[in-house]
């Protein structure tokens, strides 16, 4: 199976006869690589009970992270992660049709701490 977006490189998924994911190849260049190598390949193997027992991938080039801002993950219904200039996670909003909206916030430790822990308040609070 291959996924190709209009402005992105192709992502290829490989499956075994039981329908289990056995490999992923992503040649996208959405994050600019430091070297000329910008792709990677991943392989997975499973035991007789369909449990993943190994996962391996070729070393990917060192990447330059995108600038701080709002990131949206459409594969998980939707999730917005808002970051400050210090790149601390300060709020995560998640929406799932099977449960109420949930908000996670950075635990109040030190305003300059980058090792922030996430806490989950009661479901449905904003």
- Do 71 and 90 contact (CB within 8 A), yes or no? no
Q: Region 19-32: what's the mean pLDDT?
A: 70
In the predicted structure, residue 89 carries a pLDDT above the cut 70: no
In the predicted structure, residue 98 carries a pLDDT above the cut 60: no
Residue bearing the bigger pLDDT, 5 or 36: 5
What is the pLDDT at residue 14? 82
Q: Region 4-15: what's the mean pLDDT?
A: 68
Torsion of CA 21, 25, 29, 32, to 10 degrees: 90
- Do 84 and 112 contact (CB within 8 A), yes or no? no
Residue bearing the bigger pLDDT, 104 or 57: 57
Confidence of residue 84 (pLDDT cuts 50, 70, 90): very low
Q: Region 18-41: what's the mean pLDDT?
A: 66
Q: What whole-number distance in Å separates Cα of residue 38 and Cα of residue 30?
A: 10
What is the pLDDT at residue 97? 52
Burial of residue 26 (CB within 10 Å: 0-12, 13-18, 19+) is: buried
Q: pLDDT, tens digit, for every residue of 33-75? A: 455 555 667 788 888 888 888 877 776 555 566 565 554 444 4
Burial of residue 73 (CB within 10 Å: 0-12, 13-18, 19+) is: exposed
What is the pLDDT at residue 47? 86
What is the pLDDT at residue 111? 36
What is the pLDDT at residue 52? 83
Q: What does the domain layout of the chain look like in residue ranges?
A: 2-57, 70-119
């Amino acid at each position: 199976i291959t996924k190709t977006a209009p402005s992105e490189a192709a992502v290829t998924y490989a499956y075994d006869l039981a329908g289990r994911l056995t490999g992923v190849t992503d040649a996208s260049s959405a994050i600019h690589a430091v070297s000329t190598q910008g792709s990677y390949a991943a392989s997975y193997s499973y035991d007789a009970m369909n449990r993943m027992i190994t996962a391996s991938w070729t070393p990917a080039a060192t990447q330059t992270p995108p600038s701080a801002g709002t990131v949206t993950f459409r594969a998980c219904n939707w999730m917005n992660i808002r970051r400050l200039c210090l790149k601390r996670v300060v709020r995560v909003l998640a929406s799932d049709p099977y449960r109420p909206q949930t908000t996670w916030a950075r635990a109040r430790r030190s305003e300059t701490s980058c090792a922030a822990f996430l806490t989950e308040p009661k479901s449905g609070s904003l």
